[in-house]
């Protein structure tokens, strides 16, 4: 079954889409300058067997991609 047919996985993928740059949107895969062999692969679907952990793992990465991200620094 494709991951998007599982309700929990579909919900996680939708939440994560908001965290990632537009270039990561699956609907824009045709714009990627990659070999056809890897153009349609998705690391996210490899993690779709554990949707409870999938969101947290990729949300952390998505947060780091945010251009406005500023790491907290310890106060002196």
Size (the chain), residues: 76
Whether the model clears a pTM of 0.95, i.e. scores above it, the answer is: no
Rg value, the chain, Cα: 15
Encode pLDDT of 3-24 as tens digits: 667 787 788 888 888 887 787 7
Structure tokens at 30: 């045709």
For residue 75, the number of C-alpha atoms closer than 13 Å in the C-beta half-sphere is 0
Report d(CA 48, CA 69) in Å as an integer: 27
Q: What is the pLDDT of residue 4?
A: 66
């Amino acid at each position: 079954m494709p991951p998007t047919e599982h309700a929990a996985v579909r919900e996680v993928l939708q939440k994560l889409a908001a965290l990632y740059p537009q270039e990561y949107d699956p609907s824009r895969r045709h714009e990627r300058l990659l070999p056809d062999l890897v153009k349609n692969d998705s690391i996210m679907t490899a993690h779709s067997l554990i949707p409870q952990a999938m969101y947290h793992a990729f949300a952390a990465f998505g947060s780091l991609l945010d251009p406005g991200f500023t790491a907290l620094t310890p106060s002196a």
